[in-house]
């Protein structure tokens, strides 16, 4: 158990490192006279973000909604498909290879298609977030079910447990740690999907703001958006980590 003082030391190391990094950025670009449309000093970015704060906030919420709905849909459909593939050998032979094939196509290439199908608005970005997040969740769910301990399955058989009871009492809790791992991977991917969708064609959202910033050589605003996207992704990831705490039996073997 690290004590308070050693934890404080660890935090101060992090603060010092990032402080040094930001200082280097701020004074490096001035010292080497880097043009501000290539790399603006960090202070200019902060000013740009502050000045455009209401615009950035509004577009952030828009993108966040795309990500969350796309991710949520990926969880629902992914878990259902994972279950179907697990229980049905037919689905394992037919649907699963299809899903795997879809996974190997670069999903960024599907962005223009999504816009043709669902328009420039909200739905096409939700579809992109869904496409990116979906596969890791299917794989993780399936892996979780398949990883149910064989001795426990036999134990349930010896107790004449029915399929439904075995599913809810044994397989579902067994699969949860793996499912959470899938969410960990899928959540940042959902953000990537939504942003790619917005970059390809959109009317709102942080990706749209980046496109506008690039067109008007507002590199400071572009950097601001990138930083905000990263912060939102980190916050979403932290949310998953928080949820993962309730699945504390991951990796515990008894």
Partner 1 sequence: MVSTATAEAPQSGRALNPAAEAAANHIEARGLNKTFGSFKALEDIDFTIKNQEFVSVLGPSGCGKSTLLRIVAGLIPYESGSATIKGEAVRAPRPDVGVVFQTNNMLPWLTVRRNVELGARIRNMPADARDAAVDKILDVLSLTKFADAHPHQLSGGMRQRASIGQALVLDPQILLMDEPFGALDALTRDKLNVELLRIWQESRKTVMLITHSIAEAVFLSDRVLVMADRPGKIVEEVTIDLPRPRNAATTRAMPKFGEYVAYLGKVMGVAS
Q: How far is the CB of 180 from partner 1 (least distance, A)?
A: 13
Residue 170 or 226 having the CB closest to partner 1:
170
Task: Kindly state whether residue 159 participates in binding partner 1, applying the rule CB under 8 A.
Answer: yes
Task: Kindly state whether residue 244 participates in binding partner 1, applying the rule CB under 8 A.
Answer: no
Which x/- pattern, by CB under 8 A, does the window 113-152 give for partner 1? --------------------------------------xx
Q: How far is the CB of 158 from partner 1 (least distance, A)?
A: 4
Ranges within 173-212 binding partner 1 (CB under 8 A):
173
Task: Kindly state whether residue 164 participates in binding partner 1, applying the rule CB under 8 A.
Answer: no
Pick the piece of the chain touching partner 1 (CB under 8 A) from 136-144, 200-208, 228-236, 246-254. Answer: 246-254
**Listed residue (134, 170, 136) closest to 154, CA to CA:** 170
**Distance, CA of 118 to CA of 124 (rounded, Å):** 5
Residue with tokens 């506008």: 212
Task: Kindly state whether residue 104 participates in binding partner 1, applying the rule CB under 8 A.
Answer: no
Of 55, 154, 203, 241, the one binding partner 1 (CB under 8 A) is 154
Q: How far is the CB of 140 from partner 1 (least distance, A)?
A: 18
Residue 101 or 254 having the CB closest to partner 1:
254
Q: How far is the CB of 197 from partner 1 (least distance, A)?
A: 38
Of 11, 165, 217, 234, the one binding partner 1 (CB under 8 A) is 165
Q: How many residues bind partner 1 (CB under 8 A)?
A: 18
If phi over 0 gives left and psi between -120 and 50 gives alpha, with beta otherwise, what is residue 213?
A: alpha
For every residue of the chain, which 3-state class applies, written as one string? CCCHHHHHHHHHHHHHHHHHHHHHHHHHHHHCCCCCCCCCCHHHHHHHHHHCHHHHHHHHHHHHHHHHHHHHHHHHHHHHHHHHHHHCHHHHHHHHHHHHHHHHCCHHHHHHHHHHHHCCCHHHHHHHHHHHHHHHHHHHHHHHHHCCCHHHHHHHHHCCCCHHHHHHHHHHHHHHHHHHHHHHHHHHHHHHHHHHHHHHCCCCCHHHHHHHHHHCCCHHHHHHHHHHHHHHHHHHHHHHHHHHCCCCCCCCCC
Pick the piece of the chain touching partner 1 (CB under 8 A) from 61-69, 158-166, 218-226, 233-241. Answer: 158-166
Pick the piece of the chain touching partner 1 (CB under 8 A) from 6-14, 127-135, 167-175, 235-243. Answer: 167-175
- Which residues of this chain interact with partner 1, rule CB under 8 A? 151-152, 154-161, 165, 169-170, 173, 249, 252-254
């Amino acid at each position: 158990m690290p004590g308070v003082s050693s934890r404080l030391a660890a935090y101060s190391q992090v603060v010092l490192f990032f402080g040094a990094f930001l200082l280097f950025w701020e004074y490096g670009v001035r010292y080497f006279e880097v043009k501000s449309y290539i790399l603006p000093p960090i202070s200019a970015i902060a000013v740009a973000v502050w000045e455009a704060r209401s615009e950035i906030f509004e577009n952030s919420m828009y993108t966040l909604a795309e990500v969350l709905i796309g991710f949520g849909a990926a969880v629902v459909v992914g878990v259902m498909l994972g279950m179907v593939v697990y229980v049905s050998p037919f689905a394992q032979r037919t649907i699963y290879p299809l899903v795997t094939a879809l996974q190997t196509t670069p999903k960024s290439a599907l962005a223009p298609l999504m816009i043709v199908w669902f328009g420039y608005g909200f739905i096409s970005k939700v579809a992109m977030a869904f496409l990116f997040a979906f596969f890791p969740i299917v794989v993780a769910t399936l892996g979780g079910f398949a990883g149910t301990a064989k001795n426990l399955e036999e134990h349930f058989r010896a107790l004449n447990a029915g399929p439904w009871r075995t599913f809810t009492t044994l397989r579902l809790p067994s699969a949860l740690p793996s499912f959470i791992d899938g969410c960990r991977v899928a959540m940042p991917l959902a953000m990537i999907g939504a942003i790619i969708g917005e970059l390809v064609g959109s009317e709102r959202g942080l990706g749209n703001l980046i496109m506008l910033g690039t067109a008007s050589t507002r590199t400071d605003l572009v950097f601001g958006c990138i930083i905000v996207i990263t912060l939102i992704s980190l916050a979403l990831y932290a949310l998953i980590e928080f949820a993962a705490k309730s699945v504390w039996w991951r990796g515990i073997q008894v």
